[in-house]
Structure 1
Amino acid sequence: MPIEVLQVQKKMEVNLDCISRPLSNIYAKYARVVCRHPLPFIFVPVIVSLCLGSGFQQIKFFTNIEYLSTPKNAESKRNRDYIDDVYNIKNNGMLVNRLSMPTSFGRVIISGSQQQNILQSEEFMEVIRVHETILDISVVNNGLENTFRNMCLSWMGDCATNSILEVYDYDATKVPFVTINYPFTIHPTGKVFGIATELGDVTFVKETDIVKSAKYIRLSYYLKVSEISELWEEKFLKAMEGFDSEVIRISRDTSTALSDEFLISTFSIIPLIPIAFLLIVSFSLISSATMDWVVNKPILTLLGVVSAVLGGLAANGLLLYFEVTFTAICALTPIIIMSIGIDDMYILIASWRKTNVRSSVEDRLSETLSEAALSITITSLTDFIAFAVGCTSVFPGVSFFCIYNAVSILFVYVYVLTFFLSCMVITGRREASNRHCITCKKVVPGDVAHSSCYRILCAGGTYNTTSSDSSHIIMVFFRDYFGPLMGKSWMKIAALLVYAMYIGFSTWGVTQLKKGLDFRDIVLKDSYVIPFQDIEQNSFQTYGPLIQIVFTEEIEYWHPDVINYIMELHNDLETSKYGLNSEYFTTDSWIRSFKKYLSITGQAPTNGTIFLNILQNQFLVENQFKHFELDLVFNEDRTRIIS
């Protein structure tokens, strides 16, 4: 090879080595410091872990699924925050359809035991019994007994009701004699009831909107949010689970059901963590085992696992002290961190095995760390960066999970270079004095053992015949068999084909990704949430929820052009393919009702002052229009409508 080429190659090697070599030298010098003073590097990390680990005393699982699984900057969240803030939504004096989101509630879906028509006297009698059972559920607070009747979300003293029960006047004997229409039906008193959201799988009398049968009835019970509302929900679930009937079946749901079941699902994994821990420890012991009882390192392997646990304990405890939200999924962090810590341990032990066994412990550790620390640093850094990027996710659940993992990786890295490295020093000194890896008693090499039993269980330390400890079965396999095999041409072609297949399947898998969160993926298979949600999604989706339109800026509502614009908006929404266009249903709009009121009373305000005077002193004082107070926000002196 020409001299010029050699010089260029040498220069490139020097240039590429300008980072790794200084770092290796730093790690080598650091290893000598640890080797001379190992005890502080053992006790200080342990003390730090115990101190920071006490942060687990204030652990609180955050289980709000909606918050965790929706973007932080989601427009829906901003709109909801605006409505809750500006309209000052309260528990007292509130209609369910004015809430930006449901408060505390309990819901049931009832079907016949044989999936027959639920609108029959016998079945409906049981439905009423369910209703009465729910009304009688009571919780005690400060010595006072509270039932649904005094805990319900109400307007003008009346609890929100279930229309289907009112249609039959809570009397099962009337079921065969009362004709109901769908989605709206008229009571003999003239009151119109919307039953579309309360009946599921409806069949009709031929070519009419008269209900012939329905498979499901859904009843909803909304509560004011209080310190006892969750307790009421718990009793509600127990009451419905224990409801005894041979005629009907009940599926149940509450405002916290999905979050609670998600937490239970996560906790169901926790008992598996010790099993995973034992499997990891067992694999570590087996994979690092040799027949030489001096160079064998079972205790060091266990300490490697302990090092990862201590790092994770300190990291998580620190974050809990800083009140970083701890979600149920964060409980899986220990498995990830333990795997990363053990990987670092293997790298260090493998590098140690390649050092000259006749060298001093300090020289061996220095050579080990100069060789392995850079690999550990790079892997830890890439893992940390991956999770650090995840911390910027707009999804809070992902962000919090990545924060805990990113900080844990840093701690595990530090603990490997302190606690575990000092444990290697002690292990190296034991090996140097030819002591047994468990009993720490001095032993003799196998070739001079006085018995076969001693040779199998105690002998070790063949330092006189080898210059390294690289005879471990796994190292031998990859060095003498797997490496040469991968160097063969046909094996290279086979590897490329396998990799091409892997890329193909991966590409196909990406095309199968689906948007959204399926609740079945976050709860146990036998969760009570699944039957309720399945029925609701399959049988109650014909008519969706009410939507709210909020004008966030001040508008001259009295001006005819503004009124006409809003009326056109109402009409566009009602006549769209997504709207419910019915003679019994129009948008529940204060301005439409007020316009009609002005027409009936023969009034025509010509300016904002007169408009507001009639609105506040005549229109809103009448009982039938009082609920529109919930739709209006005035300024402090009530001279302008601000939203």
Structure 2
Amino acid sequence: MRSAALDEEVGCSSAPTKCVGGKDAENRATDADPCGGNSSSKSTNSPSTSENFGQKAENEALIIPQLDLTGAQIEDDIIKNTQTQRSQPRRKLISLWSYFTLRGFFQLVGRTVGMQPYAYLTVAALLSSQALGMYWMVLKDRIRDGYTPTNAPSRVETDIIREFWNSSGDPMITMMLLKARDKGSMHRPEYLDESQRVIDFLYNNFTVEHKGVTLRFSEMCAPYCNMNKVLQLFKMGYDNELKRVTNGQSPSTTNNLSYPVASIGGISINLDRSFFGVRLQNKSLNATKDKGLPIEKRITNMEHVELVLTLFRGDRENQLRDEQLSKWELAAYEWSIKTYKGNLVELQLVGTEILDSEMMKDGKRMTPFFAAGFGFMITFVSVCVFLSAIYYDALDRGKILVGIGAVTCPILAIVSTYGLISMLGLRINSFMLVMPFLVMGIGVDSCFLMIHSWQRMSRNGYSVVERMGMVYEEVCPSITITSLTDFLSFAIGALAPTPETRLFCLATSIAMAFTFILQLVFFGPILALATRFEHNDTKPRQAIGWRDKVDRVWQKILRIYCRLIGHRIFTICIVSATCVYWYFGIIGLMNMKTRLDVAKILPKNSPLQQPNYILTHIVWSEYHPVTVLINNPFDVTNRTQTNRFWELVDEFQSMPNAKGPESSLIWLKDYIHFSYYGEPYDNALKSVLSDWDFLLGDNEPNKPIDPFKANLTTTKLGQFLRSPFYEHWGPFMKVSNSSEGRLKIDRFWMTIAYQNTSSWETRIGLMEQWRSIVAR
């Protein structure tokens, strides 16, 4: 039986066999021929014969499928088998090289995920542990300079003026807006009294704790503690005139409470920086003699004052003072909206720290929306996964794990990004609070692609390793391309010159990278673990019943769609619609106006919406100052230099929308007056001691001096800056001692006021003109 099987296997027959290939080949063929010669003896020793034949055929690399081949055919088979054996190393190299392709690499990754899912989950846990950095997360916007490009001219201008102030940051400027609750005028006596009381309280008595230190603004306001001197002088003159009129006396000639420039004891003060929404009385009426008018209208030329504005200004000279001023501003804001309950005056505070805080509060208000989005997302994913499993008849407990994993993957990427950003010492701005919505959409979309590919192979009988290798090979290249595109797009944005945009793009690019990595090392192992919950039934199920109907419906829809997109008319319509879309897109891009509108970045119910409206439509409409810094030494004795200075001032004051010389803050005007007329003590005392007019008498106002003709020296400059009436000019100047022992002016700044500047276009136009004047 063994011999017969061997004979059948090698194909022996009674026909003689020819062996070709020379003498040696003939001998070898004869020795190995099981059919020739002594047939009976070979059949009895068939096992050894078979072994010898196999060994010799292997040694000679010759396998003869049939023994009735011709010599040429045998020779061809030898050549082919020799070539096949030589090509085996090349095939191994090609097989190895295939793993260096994108599909081959991801197939290898997928197979390792299928073999060791827990190892990959450990990597995902280590990567997600960066979320612990959220403990140090700081939510903060920078309205002052966060939306200004680093290469903008205003950056250079800001650095110059910071150098002038010798400050590491911009000064804190908190604006207090005071309006009458009954919509009446704010220059009524009781309303001015309440305004002064609130201002004095915040300056001197309102305290806040910071790092164990009790803070008062009066201790932090230097060198701007006299910023509200104008309002104090007006109130002093107002009370004096009120007392005189109440006692039946005539108004004092030393006090003139007229808007926009008042005179108190011989000192001119600009009221247009403190009073807004002012309506003046009819000049034809003699208000001082009409006793039927309210008393405030008899001592001023103002009929109505809608708003009183005062400033709290402090220098951020170092990091500690910056923190203290910020803490005070936020505490004062909380006091104004929660504690202050004045019956007469409506109080509102506005500042950059307050605006930053409100923006972050608005960002935190998105938490319920994110929670709702997360809920909708996990519901949608779960429904899709379960419906797909029902359709493929592969419903099991593992699908719950898949649904949770698909949503958890982008969430881990989001919290890991926030943690990493915080550990790097960077802050989280309000833009970055929008990033989770973007990452959730992209991350879940990629997980759906993996789920779809994994679901289709549920009944094909693949092992976990094979199945994960094919899923990764099929899906991950496309996910890689889209993730890389998104990452590079935001990474390029991280190089933008605008700090707030740069932070947002940096965080989003990191989140995109984390999402992609976690899809490979977290969601892939989740799929591998979920595979173990599937049924062992590998028989393919044909679509029958309702599945067949669903399949037919979708196939029909797909055929209709394919015919539709292939139709010429549909193509023409799509191209036409695209051209129209591009046209309006280009037109909109060319007419787009970039601006930071506080009304748009704050919610409509924010407490800052009303003060922002007041600032935009009342304050900036009536008063918008520009700061002009003279950064070179100034010699008041040099007539050429002083004349050039006054020409520069005239150029600024003659621009469109300029309010005029009376609204400009220029220390040199007061110094000219001081140099010629000295201290206004007599007039000041007369305004205070108004009951002693029979001793002091009334003096006529001093005649104005033409600045172009004034002869000045610096001999009185020190006395001028020490004067209680002019000491508020100190922060406007930087002076030093000359070699002769006299004061010299190193640099100074001034402000020119403009009006009707509510629109951004107007302010931008003015800014361009200011820069062109300075650049000459």
What are the superposed Cα offsets for residues 41-100 of structure 1, whole Å, 9 maximum, x if unpaired?
A: 1112112312x222212111232212221112222222222222244159xxxxxxxxx9
Q: 2:109 aligns with which of 8, 15, 30?
A: 30
> Secondary structure of 2:277's match?
strand
Q: 1:539 aligns with which of 612, 618, 622?
A: 618
In 2, Cα distance between the equivalents of 1:631 and 1:251?
31
The answer (yes or no) to whether the contact 1:121–1:175 under 8 Å persists in 2 is no
Q: Aligned residue for 2:305?
A: 214
In 1, Cα distance between the equivalents of 2:165 and 2:178?
32
Q: Aligned residue for 1:437?
A: none
Superposition pairs of residues 419-438 of structure 1, within 5 angstroms: 419-431=522-534, 433-434=535-536
In 1, Cα distance between the equivalents of 2:146 and 2:551?
45
Residue 357 (structure 2) pairs with residue 260 (structure 1): yes
Residue 686 (structure 2) pairs with residue 619 (structure 1): no
The answer (yes or no) to whether the contact 1:109–1:532 under 8 Å persists in 2 is no
Q: Aligned residue for 1:309?
A: 411
Q: Aligned residue for 1:392?
A: 495
Q: 1:103 aligns with which of 165, 168, 172?
A: 172
What are the superposed Cα offsets for residues 320-344 of structure 1, whole Å, 9 maximum, x if unpaired?
A: 2222332132123222222221111
In 2, Cα distance between the equivalents of 1:82 and 1:146?
30
- Alpha-carbon distance, 1:345 to partner: 0.6
> Secondary structure of 2:341's match?
coil
Q: 1:61 aligns with which of 139, 143, 164?
A: 139
Q: 2:595 aligns with which of 516, 522, 527?
A: 516
Residue 443 (structure 2) pairs with residue 374 (structure 1): no
- Alpha-carbon distance, 1:294 to partner: 2.7
Q: 1:299 to 1:309 in 2, by over 3 A?
A: same
Higher mean alpha-carbon deviation, 346-355 vs 255-264, is at 346-355
Q: 1:472 to 1:191 in 2, by over 3 A?
A: farther
Q: Aligned residue for 2:259?
A: 182
In 2, Cα distance between the equivalents of 1:58 and 1:230?
19
Q: 1:176 to 1:257 in 2, by over 3 A?
A: farther
Q: 1:145 to 1:354 in 2, by over 3 A?
A: closer
Q: Aligned residue for 2:510?
A: 407
Superposition RMSD in Å = 4.0
Higher mean alpha-carbon deviation, 207-216 vs 514-523, is at 207-216
> Secondary structure of 2:490's match?
helix
> Secondary structure of 2:262's match?
strand
- Alpha-carbon distance, 1:485 to partner: 2.7
What are the superposed Cα offsets for residues 549-568 of structure 1, whole Å, 9 maximum, x if unpaired?
A: 33446788876544443332
How many residue pairs end up in the alignment?
Answer: 569
Residue 150 (structure 2) pairs with residue 72 (structure 1): yes
In 2, Cα distance between the equivalents of 1:586 and 1:230?
30
Tell me the percent identity: 17
In 2, Cα distance between the equivalents of 1:180 and 1:597?
21
Q: 1:175 to 1:57 in 2, by over 3 A?
A: farther
Superposition pairs of residues 464-503 of structure 1, within 5 angstroms: 464-466=540-542, 479-482=555-558, 484-488=560-564, 489=567, 502-503=581-582
- Alpha-carbon distance, 1:477 to partner: 6.4
The answer (yes or no) to whether the contact 2:172–2:325 under 8 Å persists in 1 is no
Residue 333 (structure 2) pairs with residue 237 (structure 1): yes
> Secondary structure of 1:57's match?
helix
Higher mean alpha-carbon deviation, 205-214 vs 27-36, is at 205-214
- Alpha-carbon distance, 1:265 to partner: 0.4
Normalising by structure 2, what TM-score?
0.65
What are the superposed Cα offsets for residues 5-37 of structure 1, whole Å, 9 maximum, x if unpaired?
A: xxxxxxxxxxxxx99993212222222222222
Tell me the amino acid that sits aligned with residue 653 of structure 2.
E
Q: 2:420 aligns with which of 314, 318, 327?
A: 318
Q: 1:485 to 1:45 in 2, by over 3 A?
A: same
In 1, Cα distance between the equivalents of 2:213 and 2:114?
68
Specify the structure having the higher radius of gyration (Cα): 2
- Alpha-carbon distance, 1:515 to partner: 2.7
> Secondary structure of 1:168's match?
helix
Tell me the amino acid that sits aligned with residue 261 of structure 1.
E
In 1, Cα distance between the equivalents of 2:358 and 2:222?
25
In 2, Cα distance between the equivalents of 1:302 and 1:141?
45
Q: Aligned residue for 2:460?
A: 357
Q: 1:119 to 1:587 in 2, by over 3 A?
A: closer
Q: 1:628 to 1:173 in 2, by over 3 A?
A: closer
The answer (yes or no) to whether the contact 1:106–1:255 under 8 Å persists in 2 is no
Structure 1: where are the runs of 5+ without partners? 1-17, 91-99, 435-460, 602-612
The answer (yes or no) to whether the contact 1:574–1:581 under 8 Å persists in 2 is yes
The answer (yes or no) to whether the contact 1:180–1:210 under 8 Å persists in 2 is yes
Q: Aligned residue for 2:26?
A: none
In 1, Cα distance between the equivalents of 2:214 and 2:243?
34
In 2, Cα distance between the equivalents of 1:620 and 1:261?
44
Structure 2: where are the runs of 5+ without partners? 1-96, 246-250, 285-299, 679-711, 748-776
What are the superposed Cα offsets for residues 587-615 of structure 1, whole Å, 9 maximum, x if unpaired?
A: 5155x7778989999xxxxxxxxxxx974
- Alpha-carbon distance, 1:380 to partner: 0.4
Tell me the amino acid that sits aligned with residue 118 of structure 1.
M
The answer (yes or no) to whether the contact 1:149–1:159 under 8 Å persists in 2 is no
Q: 2:118 aligns with which of 36, 39, 46?
A: 39
Normalising by structure 1, what TM-score?
0.77
What are the superposed Cα offsets for residues 439-473 of structure 1, whole Å, 9 maximum, x if unpaired?
A: xxxxxxxxxxxxxxxxxxxxxx6733359xxx799
Tell me the amino acid that sits aligned with residue 101 of structure 2.
P
> Secondary structure of 2:308's match?
strand
Q: 1:89 to 1:429 in 2, by over 3 A?
A: closer
> Secondary structure of 2:460's match?
coil
Q: Aligned residue for 1:441?
A: none
The answer (yes or no) to whether the contact 2:113–2:468 under 8 Å persists in 1 is no
Residue 268 (structure 2) pairs with residue 201 (structure 1): no
In 1, Cα distance between the equivalents of 2:351 and 2:556?
63
